[in-house]
Structure 1
Amino acid sequence: MQREVYRIDKPGSIDQLHRKKEMLRPPENDEVTIEVGAIGLNFADVFSVYGLYSATPKGSFIPGLEFSGKIVKIGANVKDFEVGDLVFGVTRFGAYATHLNISEKTIFLLPKDWTMQDGASFAVQALTAYYALIPLGQVKAGDHVLVHSAAGGVGIMAGHIIQKKKAIAIGLVGDSRKFSILKEVGYDYFLTRSPNFKEEMRKILLGAPLKIVLECLGGRYFHDSYELLAPMGRLVTYGSANFTPSQSFRNWFSIVYSYLTRPKIDPLSMISDNKSVLGFNLIWLWNEIDELRKHFSELMMLSLPKQTIGHEFSFDSMHDALRTMQSGQSIGKIVINVP
């Protein structure tokens, strides 16, 4: 079967991502072949294209972590799916394609009231928010929870989970124009990144303990959020948007400066302050399929609303979509419609 993909042979720039035609082998015994209907973009896509993501495959690779589509072929041992089933799923790279082969263990039936776009926009960011808040953050009713980049895809899903757990959601964004989406999601409080961040947070908290922080920025906001944490509080970090390239190429001076000035926490102070920092990279769950499916099942039991889709692009406009993601000005999920 012939397919079209976006492949990068030498990371370093979005311009290095090239559209190509290539042959796709038949599915192996435990695989299905998907005719892709939509692709979900994530910040990891930008970092992998620039060669700044440690999990990126060596050599030539196809970016992309999540997709939705229709099964057009099944392997000999596939029992839970049939040709024609509409599904969504995750992959450890390879989603920027019109067709792909994938293990049946990393796909899920598309709910009847979901579109292809809904399916491609859900899994990675919802799982990230769930894993940060529940297994790691152990959120419970009444907890004050600060979410960085609250108008992004993870932030929106985090807001829904915090509501489900009857905790108190505080959203941090870079622009007050994003307050309207936080209000729709159900955030209790919202504020913008500013030199007065800590003072504004203290006014919101009014002496209440800040129990959980979902942190994805790095830099001073990591440090300030850690200072604001109450004893027994948890800061869960899952990204570092501070390293996002702002140009069409890797600016090594900027990258090295951000690395050398990254926040550092003294383990001895963590003990005396009784605070925790937990870091994770969701893509490593792709290697633990049973664990991935367990967490995904528990996530679906929360019956969360569908993801907010802020931007849609055609498959032809992949570069424009990545630049929108790179800009940091997007709201919710960016989805690519295929073909």
Structure 2
Amino acid sequence: MSQSRRAWRTRKAGAISNLQLVEEPLQPLGADKIRVEVKAVGLNFADIFALTGLYSATPEGSFVPGLEFSGIVSELGAAAETDLAVGDRVYGCIRFGGYATSVDVPPQHCRRMPEGWSFAEGAAFPVQSLTAFYALTDLGAVQPGQLVLVHSAAGGVGLQAMRMLQQVGAVPIGTVSSDSKRAFLAGLGFHEIIVRGDDFGAQLQAQLAGRPLHAVLDGIGGEIQKQSFRALAPTGRLVVFGAAEFTPGDRPNWLKAAWLYLKRPRYDVMDMISSNRSVMAFNLIWLWQEQALFDRLLEGSAGLGLPAPHVGHEFCFEEAHEAIECLRSGKSVGKVVLKVGMSE
């Protein structure tokens, strides 16, 4: 058994270019944890924000980015309470550390992969599913028949949210940035899609055609978010899980970030009382401290019986920088994944 692992490590947050592939010794396995030989890693915008120092949960000093993975259980801690066994194919979550060929995690943060799923599909499931499920159920309180607007509907979280809404009998309206993404979603059976233009507010009103909008799932921010909130019907909920408009290049452009921050949406609670609309926002990283909620959400996501996530872009483990740039560009469709060796 190998006594070392490869990992993408940055000496400190501040620039994506600080990320380097290193080989490092494996630490002794904690008694209450399991070791997973990683076969695929899912990429998230949180990775970019952490690497550039714009994520509030970014670790101090040197760290390995990455929040989700899939692989094979290679070792069990002496006191690990689990029905998982060595050799099981699993997907899981980790509070940073995913960009590595081996990870040690609490067993309750892993689940067996469904039959027939590839490792890439397994790595694409946990974070985007937890995000979409929590936003739509616990916060959005979406009910069958309700209209829900999903921004970036062809992305990892957006596509999973569209599928979840369809599964529970709600009516998803997706927004995308290009005609090619609209065509992609149409091929999956989604037909209420808006290609965002200069006057998104007018586009949205035309699409609604007088129907009440009950919820919005937004990870973009800015003017798009403002116009979406204005379109909500009474009792409508805006659920915010990210701010893609702040996505930096190799390192933050602090002048641009300051300008966007000053222009950010602001909501007056007195106006919200009068219009009977609400705004909720969350950061998924804190779920790692709420095990009961984590379990319920992960089981709820898996229990919907959705098809395997769409993996739109696969890169070799050694191509982390190319994969990050693909995600950062805003042109990706579905999930961006790193594959370790001959994964399948």
Bin of the TM-score, shorter chain as denominator length:
over 0.9
Q: How far, CA to CA, are the matches of 2:161 and 2:208 in structure 1?
A: 19
Matched position secondary structure for 1:151: coil
Structure 1 position 43 matched with structure 2 position 45:
yes
Q: How far, CA to CA, are the matches of 2:334 and 2:54 in structure 1?
A: 23
Of residues 250, 253, 264 in structure 2, which corresponds to 1:248? 250
Of residues 303, 306, 322 in structure 1, which corresponds to 2:305? 303
The range that moved more, 68-77 or 89-98, is 68-77
Of residues 89, 92, 103 in structure 2, which corresponds to 1:89? 92
Matched position secondary structure for 1:6: strand
Q: How far, CA to CA, are the matches of 1:76 and 1:337 in structure 2?
A: 29
The gaps in structure 1 that reach 5 residues or longer are: none
Which string of whole-angstrom CA distances, capped at 9 and with x for unpartnered residues, describes residues 247-278 of structure 1? 32221111111111111011110010100101
Q: How far, CA to CA, are the matches of 2:70 and 2:178 in structure 1?
A: 31
Matched position secondary structure for 1:222: helix
Q: How far, CA to CA, are the matches of 1:112 and 1:191 in structure 2?
A: 35
Q: How far, CA to CA, are the matches of 2:332 and 2:196 in structure 1?
A: 16
Look up the match of 2:172. Answer: 169
Structure 1 position 213 matched with structure 2 position 216:
yes
Structure 1 position 230 matched with structure 2 position 233:
yes
Q: How far, CA to CA, are the matches of 1:162 and 1:86 in structure 2?
A: 28
Q: How far, CA to CA, are the matches of 1:281 and 1:187 in structure 2?
A: 28
Structure 1 position 119 matched with structure 2 position 118:
no
Matched position secondary structure for 1:310: strand
Question: Displacement of 1:10 after TM fit?
Answer: 2.1
Structure 1 position 183 matched with structure 2 position 151:
no
The range that moved more, 312-321 or 175-184, is 175-184
Look up the match of 2:275. Answer: 273
Q: How far, CA to CA, are the matches of 2:329 and 2:36 in structure 1?
A: 31
What does 1:105-144 align with in structure 2 at a 5 Å threshold? 105-144=108-147
Q: How far, CA to CA, are the matches of 1:132 and 1:14 in structure 2?
A: 29
Look up the match of 2:25. Answer: 23
CA RMSD in angstroms, aligned pairs only: 1.0
Matched position secondary structure for 2:59: coil
Which string of whole-angstrom CA distances, capped at 9 and with x for unpartnered residues, describes residues 85-129 of structure 1? 111100000000011111111011111211111110001001111
The range that moved more, 192-201 or 251-260, is 192-201
Look up the match of 1:73. Answer: 75
Q: Given the two structures, how large is their TM-score scaled by the length of structure 1?
A: 0.97
Q: How far, CA to CA, are the matches of 2:336 and 2:26 in structure 1?
A: 26
Q: How far, CA to CA, are the matches of 1:280 and 1:184 in structure 2?
A: 31
What does 1:279-298 align with in structure 2 at a 5 Å threshold? 279-298=281-300
The gaps in structure 2 that reach 5 residues or longer are: none
The range that moved more, 199-208 or 41-50, is 199-208
Which string of whole-angstrom CA distances, capped at 9 and with x for unpartnered residues, describes residues 143-162 of structure 1? 11110111101111011111
Q: What amino acid is aligned across from residue 159 of structure 2 in structure 1?
A: I
Q: Does the CA contact (< 8 Å) of 1:169 and 1:188 recur in 2?
A: no
Segments ≥4 residues shifted beyond 3 Å? none
Structure 1 position 196 matched with structure 2 position 202:
no
Of residues 4, 7, 11 in structure 1, which corresponds to 2:6? 4
Q: How far, CA to CA, are the matches of 1:330 and 1:232 in structure 2?
A: 33
Look up the match of 1:54. Answer: 56
Q: Percent of counterpart pairs with the same letter? A: 44
Question: Displacement of 1:187 after TM fit?
Answer: 2.4
Question: Displacement of 1:181 after TM fit?
Answer: 1.9
Matched position secondary structure for 2:211: coil
Which string of whole-angstrom CA distances, capped at 9 and with x for unpartnered residues, describes residues 26-67 of structure 1? 211111111100000011011111110001111111000000
Q: Does the CA contact (< 8 Å) of 2:8 and 2:65 recur in 1?
A: yes
Q: Does the CA contact (< 8 Å) of 1:24 and 1:100 recur in 2?
A: no
Question: Displacement of 1:18 after TM fit?
Answer: 0.8
Look up the match of 1:313. Answer: 315
Aligned residues: 338
Question: Displacement of 1:167 after TM fit?
Answer: 1.4
Of residues 306, 322, 325 in structure 1, which corresponds to 2:324? 322
Q: How far, CA to CA, are the matches of 1:186 and 1:145 in structure 2?
A: 16
Q: How far, CA to CA, are the matches of 1:154 and 1:227 in structure 2?
A: 23
Q: Does the CA contact (< 8 Å) of 2:35 and 2:103 recur in 1?
A: yes
